[in-house]
Chain A
């Protein structure tokens, strides 16, 4: 099932993007001429977090405190750009990393162990370069910054991601729209609601790990119909011709859901994760949703909630957990919210995350999911 919006996939002839697409290539020197500061700042605010900009400015030993995006841009970023202390490429670099992590519907798939030798053979600089050239995509190492592309475009094809030197990353940028509140207006004697449409930049990321794990990270959609399953399949189809996409299977997260909602969970799981919501179902069609206050330590600290879940599940082999919401303890202070939804292979991260945060929480969930 292909979503219609992916059928007119933009192809970057000769590695350049039209001005109409509000984009440019990072390896050119005329960035300033092709994109306005306002658009760049808008995308920076839309994709990155204030914290990411603070960390970057601090690393350059520049003033970095700001309580809002407006203050950050006016008091910190613009002066640093004017003085030459930071460059446009630096801001693009922040966007480039931030747009890959957080605020994503992540769909997990895998290649079976039998295909891993072929996979390693396919993800080499030579093979990926030839495939990308054939498809009209940017080559490895290039980055096309399309701010608000008219059609979805592949902005980056890369081998290597953080500490994973052999992973393949393919990134797709598209323009999405959000509907603002409608205003009652009279048009031709009829009362109608007029709702302004506001554009935003959405980036989808495909990452293939050399151990066979495949992630499709989808920017949340705003307008119905929303088919994350269909969209994930169309993102996967982008690597046709490089790898055998027909051999990709959905990775079920049922083990992780059962483990997170297990009333006698292992110490390792309970030290890293707290459980805030569960949804259980049985084969009679009964469904039970449970939620507890995060401030009170979640479901497992509530004797009432654990008893209710026990009543529903214990002794019924057909009762199962279909959804959980957990928080992951990143370090001593930060908690990262993750929803393992009813769809078997989906994790939803609701906040902006750094690469380090994203990789750690995803790795922790997959580890729990691997423990039979």
Chain B
């Protein structure tokens, strides 16, 4: 197996391009953290998270935390803070009460506007 890859420079410019696309969107638009990782290709997850947190705290970027059904992947609810996410909730896509694992069932989503978040 031969593998060789260069790390990408200019990742902060790509991040600002994505932030700009969200800020200037004329209709609702969203990008998950995983998608941002792919689009931005930052040197490390930690650096990307720091850069995203900075832009959120400066008011340039909006983030919500979405609970996703482990069975159906349906969006069950969105919250403005991860601390608001309850430990259990009704999965309306299956009719069953679920235990929420904050690492597995909650995805950070960067949005052009916050709609319906608790």
Chain A interface (Cβ within 8 Å of chain B)?
110, 112-114, 116, 164, 209, 211-213, 224-230, 233, 246-252, 254, 279, 281, 283-285, 287, 289, 320, 322, 342-344, 359, 362-363, 366-367, 370
**A225 with B103: in contact, given A212-B4, A343-B34 (CB under 8 Å)?**
yes
Main secondary structure of the interface of B (DSSP, over half): loop
**A285 with B44: in contact, given A113-B4, A224-B99 (CB under 8 Å)?**
no
B83 at interface by CB-CB < 8 Å: no
| In the complex, residue of chain A having the shortest beta-carbon distance to the beta carbon of B36 | A344
Residues of A within 8 A of B109 (CB): 285
Judge whether A281 and B41 touch: CB under 8 Å: no
Nearest Cβ on chain A to B50's Cβ, whole angstroms? 12
Judge whether A284 and B28 touch: CB under 8 Å: yes
Complex alpha-carbon distance, A73 and B100, angstroms: 41
B114 at interface by CB-CB < 8 Å: no
* A-B contacts besides A322-B35, A342-B34, A367-B1, 20 pairs, CB < 8 Å: A110-B5, A112-B5, A113-B6, A164-B1, A211-B1, A213-B3, A224-B103, A225-B102, A226-B104, A228-B103, A229-B103, A233-B45, A249-B43, A252-B37, A252-B38, A284-B28, A285-B30, A289-B73, A320-B35, A344-B38
Judge whether A113 and B5 touch: CB under 8 Å: yes
**A209 with B73: in contact, given A226-B103, A249-B44, A344-B34 (CB under 8 Å)?**
no
Residues of A within 8 A of B31 (CB): 283
Nearest Cβ on chain A to B14's Cβ, whole angstroms? 13
Judge whether B7 and A224 touch: CB under 8 Å: no
Complex alpha-carbon distance, A29 and B75, angstroms: 58
A-B contact count (CB 8 A): 88
| In the complex, residue of chain A having the shortest beta-carbon distance to the beta carbon of B102 | A225
Residues of A within 8 A of B30 (CB): 283-285
Judge whether A225 and B101 touch: CB under 8 Å: yes
Interface residue tally of chain B, by bracket? 20 to 34
Judge whether B35 and A281 touch: CB under 8 Å: yes
Nearest Cβ on chain B to A2's Cβ, whole angstroms? 12
Nearest Cβ on chain A to B43's Cβ, whole angstroms? 5
B60 at interface by CB-CB < 8 Å: no
Which 6 A-B pairs give the minimum distances between C-beta atoms? A112-B7, A227-B103, A224-B101, A213-B3, A363-B1, A211-B3
| In the complex, residue of chain A having the shortest beta-carbon distance to the beta carbon of B31 | A283
Q: Which B51-109 residues have a C-beta within 8 angstroms of A?
A: 73, 75, 99, 101-104, 109
Judge whether A283 and B29 touch: CB under 8 Å: yes
**A114 with B7: in contact, given A226-B101, A226-B104, A252-B41 (CB under 8 Å)?**
yes
Complex alpha-carbon distance, A246 and B37, angstroms: 17
Judge whether B44 and A211 touch: CB under 8 Å: no
Judge whether A112 and B37 touch: CB under 8 Å: no
Judge whether A212 and B99 touch: CB under 8 Å: no
